[in-house]
Amino acid sequence: MRIIDREDIIKSVERLCIDTNCILNDDIIKSFDSFIEKEASPIAAGILRDLKKNGEAAKKRMMPICQDTGMAVVFIEIGQEVYVDGSLEEAINEGVRRGYINGYLRKSVVYDPVIQRINTKDNTPAIIHYNIVKGDKLKITVAPKGFGSENMSRIHMLKPSEGRKGVIDCILKTIDEAGPNPCPPMIVGIGIGGNFEYSAYLAKKALLRPIGQYSEKAYLREIEEEVIKKANNLGIGPQGLGGTTTILWAAAEDYPTHIAGMPVAVNISCHVTRHGEVTI
Partner 1 sequence: MEISLKTPVTREMARKLRAGDRVKISGIIYTARDAAHKRMLENREKDGFPIDLKDSVIYFAGPSPAKPGEAVGSIGPTTSYRMDSYSPDMIKYGETVMIGKGKRSSEVVEAMKKYGAVYIGAIGGAGALLASHVEKCRVAAYEDLGAEAIHELVVKDFPGIVIIDSEGNNLYETEYLKYRRND
Please report, for residues 91, 92, 99, the alpha-carbon distance to residue 8 in angstroms, rounded to integers and kept in the order given: 9, 10, 14
34 or 151, CB closer to partner 1?
A: 151
Task: Name which of ligand SF4, partner 1, none residue 160 binds, using a CB cut-off of 5 to 8 Å depending on partner kind.
Answer: none
Any contact of residue 272 with partner 1 (CB under 8 A)?
A: yes
Angle at 36 between CA 277 and CA 185, to 5 degrees: 55
Site for partner 1 in 231-260 (CB under 8 A): 233-237, 239-244
With contacts defined by CB under 8 A, how many residues of the chain interact with partner 1? Answer: 47
CA distance 185 to 206: 17
Question: In angstroms, what is the minimal distance from the CB of 55 to ligand SF4?
Answer: 11
Task: Name which of partner 1, ligand SF4, none residue 247 binds, using a CB cut-off of 5 to 8 Å depending on partner kind.
Answer: none
Any contact of residue 81 with partner 1 (CB under 8 A)?
A: no
Any contact of residue 73 with ligand SF4 (CB under 6 A)?
A: no
Any contact of residue 271 with partner 1 (CB under 8 A)?
A: yes
Any contact of residue 183 with ligand SF4 (CB under 6 A)?
A: yes
Q: How many residues does the chain have?
A: 280
Q: Which residue type does 276 have?
A: G
Q: Which long-range contacts (CB under 8 A, 24 or more apart) does 212-215 make?
A: 212/27, 212/30, 212/31, 212/249, 213/251, 214/251, 215/251, 215/252, 215/253
Please report, for residues 13, 109, 126, 150, the alpha-carbon distance to residue 112 in angstroms, rounded to integers and kept in the order given: 24, 9, 14, 18
Site for partner 1 in 15-74 (CB under 8 A): 40-41, 47, 50-51, 53-55, 57-58, 61, 63-69
CA distance 215 to 95: 32
Interface contacts to partner 1, rule CB under 8 A:
40-41, 47, 50-51, 53-55, 57-58, 61, 63-69, 104-108, 117, 119, 121, 148, 151, 179-183, 233-237, 239-244, 270-272
